[in-house]
Amino acid sequence: MSIDWNAWNQGIIEEFRANGGKVGGNFEGAEMVIVHTTGAKTGAERLNPLVPLIEDGRIYVIASKGGAPDSPDWYYNMKAHPRVTVEHLTETFDADAVEIEDEAERSRLYDLQVTRFASFGDYVKLTDRRIPVLELVRA
């Protein structure tokens, strides 16, 4: 059975917006953000519901793609067009996506996300690639 990821994401986005940034199902209890990116190739707006790591008011997103061999499209979009719009709870703001280059800090943040959501620990075991971590810095 093939999943229509666009329809699945759209359902999450609608639930997020209808419930002040909260969703249920697989994401029950998880804080979420919707990140608006600009397509690297198309220039079209893309909406990406993501489970961020929030630490001391700073928002990080992890380009795990469930442990796939390549990074998610939104990562490439952020690299091409780092200015994004973030929906968090009931607030919307512009931010700049900045990749965490320092390996010790990237690992610390990734490990912290694993303590909050164990599935991120599985993703790192499924791929040989270095999974990027990006901070969404308020513009």
Q: What is the pLDDT of residue 92?
A: 97
Domains of the chain (ranges, CATH numbers): 5-138 (2.30.110.10)
Cα-based distances in Å from 138 to 25, 54, 92, 119: 29, 13, 10, 27
Question: How confident is the model over 83-123, as pLDDT tens digits?
Answer: 999 999 999 999 999 999 999 999 999 999 999 999 999 99
What confidence score (pLDDT) does residue 42 get? 95
Provide the 3-class DSSP secondary structure of residue 105: helix
Task: Copy the structure tokens of residue 90.
Answer: 């009931």
Predicted TM-score (pTM) of this structure? 0.93
76-110 CB burial, b ≥16 within 10 A, e <16 = bbbbeebebbbbbeeeeeebebeebeeeeebeebb
Q: What are phi and psi of 70, to 5 degrees?
A: -120, 160
Statement: residue 21 has pLDDT above 80 = yes
